[in-house]
A and B are shown apart, each in its own frame.
Chain A
């Protein structure tokens, strides 16, 4: 967290700077099947974030040393477009995107029925086109819908959501200012049908009570986003097209 404690993030009426309540999420829209070249794809807008995910495969795993005899490997690339942030970012991987790619892949491997596709590879490409705090969560949500759109069997989808702390108050879904000047951020990936957690990161400072409240908010938001995900997939396959 940025640790600039003196920036005011809560208004006198208890609302946040953008007018949201403490436990209110930014608006989310999801569309499935947006990229014709991919086997499965999805676009997620979460507030001003725009995340697109494409899925290719299952395909032969190359190079051979990455093959697993009993299951598929999931190869995730999380990438921010050069124009997605305030200052342009140089194209290519950096430490942050490598770490996010790694933990995202591991969480997706926990829900995809990878044992169905031994020795193969499933490629998941997450592209962030606009970033306003919360891109890894939008990316996980987009990847889940894209995997479902590609027809890849999963135990459940994963919903990416985050809560955090600003001015000693736990709030749902930090925006950019809250992320920069807040005290904690807790992004998680939740399996909506079981409530299990497949993705977990956190930074900042939270008491156990604050953690529990933040998780409560996250579970509530995951239910809301899950409905939007399911709706996107239904719209995609309605009417017998494809």
Chain B
């Protein structure tokens, strides 16, 4: 999709919203079809592929052994980064990480980190000397809209199916990484004046602000982010939060189902 006529697109989204419709025929809070595949890449210690409408994202988990921070001698570390490389869309240019890719990585990172699903003390090998550094890399291959939710899903699914490669580093036996929870993100975009769930590429192009909500297993908030220009009311937030609870539960079940295989 080329950014030729965003103002015409904006008018069209307004017109559709007045009739309670969306540009691809979905209802206001309907998501697109989601496919999740785990353990799909040979060298990654945990991996997942998410196909979410026209969006395709891989996440891979790698481990390294590092020296702990002096003030936290028993704690390992977790880092989640994202790359919006030119492969994903004609709008992405080569070069150093863009503000957009940094935001994506950090929002996903916060949701996982703050949910407490990884106990940093569990990543200790020898206190003060050796701890595991866990790195989740998000690789966007096709941006068809709502890369945040797809990235969040790929990241947690890759993490939950990761195996700690202790044998390769000569520090014990390989074991599955302990992950106590499945934080899931739900994203909303103002298109045609009201919030819709799971924005498509057109809605991102012709819409306003977006809101990302990450919920843990107990329904607690673990990360929030408002992006782009625009303001929203407390009532609007209450409405989308209720939708987010339902969407996150559905996706959490999907992750659990894949882990069972």
Chain A 128-147: CB-based contact to B (< 8 A → 1; otherwise 0):
01111000000000000000
A87 to B54, CA, bound (A): 31
Chain B 75-86: CB-based contact to A (< 8 A → 1; otherwise 0):
000000101011
Residue of A nearest to B56 (CB): A35
Q: How far is the CB of B90 from chain A (nearest CB, A)?
A: 5
For residues 93 through 129 of chain B, which have their beta carbon under 8 Å from a beta carbon of chain A? 94, 96-97
Residue of A nearest to B91 (CB): A37
Q: Is B41 in the interface zone, CB < 8 Å from A?
A: yes
Q: Is B139 in the interface zone, CB < 8 Å from A?
A: yes
Chain A 56-81: CB-based contact to B (< 8 A → 1; otherwise 0):
11010000000000000000010101
Tell whether, in the assembled complex, residue A79 and residue B44 are in contact, meaning their CB atoms are under 8 Å apart. no
A128 to B12, CA, bound (A): 39
Q: Is A118 in the interface zone, CB < 8 Å from B?
A: no
Q: Which of A36, A57, A87, A123 contacts B144 (CB 8 A)?
A: A36
A129 to B83, CA, bound (A): 13
Tell whether, in the assembled complex, residue A131 and residue B43 are in contact, meaning their CB atoms are under 8 Å apart. yes
A130 to B43, CA, bound (A): 6
Q: Which of B83, B139, B143 contacts A37 (CB 8 A)?
A: B143
Q: Is B68 in the interface zone, CB < 8 Å from A?
A: no
Residue of B nearest to A80 (CB): B43
Q: Is A185 in the interface zone, CB < 8 Å from B?
A: no
Q: Is A38 in the interface zone, CB < 8 Å from B?
A: yes
Q: Is A91 in the interface zone, CB < 8 Å from B?
A: yes
B168 CB contacts on chain A under 8 angstroms: 86
Tell whether, in the assembled complex, residue A127 and residue B43 are in contact, meaning their CB atoms are under 8 Å apart. no
A21 to B82, CA, bound (A): 41
Residue of B nearest to A54 (CB): B87
B60 CB contacts on chain A under 8 angstroms: 81-84, 129
A59 CB contacts on chain B under 8 angstroms: 90
Q: How far is the CB of A41 from chain B (nearest CB, A)?
A: 8
Residue of A nearest to B58 (CB): A129
Name the residue in A59, A92, A130 with the highest tally of chain B Cβ atoms < 10 Å from its Cβ.
Answer: A130
Q: How far is the CB of B1 from chain A (nearest CB, A)?
A: 8
Residue of B nearest to A81 (CB): B139
Tell whether, in the assembled complex, residue B58 and residue A91 are in contact, meaning their CB atoms are under 8 Å apart. no
Q: Which of B64, B86, B139, B143 contacts A88 (CB 8 A)?
A: B64
Tell whether, in the assembled complex, residue A52 and residue B87 are in contact, meaning their CB atoms are under 8 Å apart. yes
Q: Is A48 in the interface zone, CB < 8 Å from B?
A: yes
Residue of B nearest to A50 (CB): B41
A129 CB contacts on chain B under 8 angstroms: 41, 58, 60, 139
Q: How far is the CB of A20 from chain B (nearest CB, A)?
A: 17
Q: How far is the CB of B95 from chain A (nearest CB, A)?
A: 10
Q: Which of A37, A130, A131 contacts B88 (CB 8 A)?
A: A37
> A residues touching B (Cβ–Cβ < 8 Å)?
34-39, 41, 48, 50, 52, 54, 56-57, 59, 77, 79, 81-88, 91-92, 123, 125, 127, 129-132
The 10 closest A-B pairs by CB, nearest first: A83-B60, A36-B54, A125-B87, A88-B62, A83-B44, A48-B42, A82-B137, A35-B142, A37-B142, A130-B42
Can you give 26 A-B contacts (C-beta < 8 A)?
Answer: A34-B56, A36-B144, A37-B88, A37-B142, A37-B143, A50-B41, A54-B141, A57-B90, A77-B85, A77-B86, A79-B85, A82-B81, A83-B41, A83-B43, A83-B60, A83-B61, A83-B137, A84-B44, A84-B60, A86-B168, A88-B62, A91-B83, A123-B86, A129-B60, A131-B43, A132-B43
